Amino acid sequence: MTTYAERLARIQNRSRSLLCVGLDTDAEKMPMHLRARPNGILEFNKRIIDATKDLVSAYKINFAFYESLGKKGWDILERTVAMVPSTIITIGDAKRGDIGNTSTQYAKAVLKDLGFDAVTVAPYMGKDSVQPFLEYHDKGVYVLALTSNKGAFDFQYQKIGKRRLFEEVVRTVKGWALHDNLGFVVGATKSEDIRTVRRLAGDLPFLVPGIGAQGGSVEEVVRYGCTKEGAGVLINASRSILYASPGKDFAAAARSEAVKLNNEINFFRDKYF
């Protein structure tokens, strides 16, 4: 069986891309001509995928933007996942994490029933809340380590003895990796600490949000987040690509932004690796 890490590396090598586009589609930010259409969100997602699929190695779908739409949103979510080519990683950005029997059901829903290739999870409740996801050996599990929001300083930087909490999370969770399918979420806006997480995590893959609208540094993410092979990172951008234009040219504009970001990422990969 091909492991998740092996599949990710193969996809990134073939596409020469570390780019992940977040399909976190907000109907109120879509072009006006799509907002009144019954399948406007689905059409928007399809156009974005068609415009960028040769430039990315993954798509990340934040569940909140679909769950908020009720039953219709779940249908859009399923149909969006089905539109992504099998040669591209799909990440269910669900941030799940609960007691073991509940996490078992969450894992089944995201990784089996919906068919995502990877999922984001929260480690706060400990190993038994993450283990059910890791049992899907060919699926990726990205554990929240150091997030891109301002509230990260409320807990993640608090000292646990001599270490900060996020460092202790990485040190502890790394020991749960048995099937080459564990990774970490590390925010681009915390670029000064990405190097620390990489040192602690070894070659485990990172999912890095916070580029684009949130202002993270592409250069610092590549320089400090990549493995020694210049890979091992999925750099996510959502709003800066999805809403590059409010008009009917939104897909072309999204592609232009994706090309620009992908070229910038590869420029720094060539510079440092």
Amino acid identity for residue 78 in this structure: E
Catalytic residue among 95, 139, 190, 260: 95
* H-type alpha helices, 58-177: 64-67, 71-83, 100-107, 127-134, 152-155, 165-174
H or E segment and range at residue 119: strand 118-121
Active site (annotated) includes residue 260: no
DSSP for 165-221 reads HHHHHHHHHHTT--SS-EEEEE-GGGHHHHHHHHHHHTT--EEE--BSTT-B-HHHH
> What's the N-to-C CA distance of the chain in angstroms?
30
Q: Specify whether the backbone of 16 is left (phi greater than 0), alpha (psi in -120 to 50) or beta.
A: left
Could you give the 3-state DSSP secondary structure of residue 162?
Answer: coil
Catalytic residues: 95
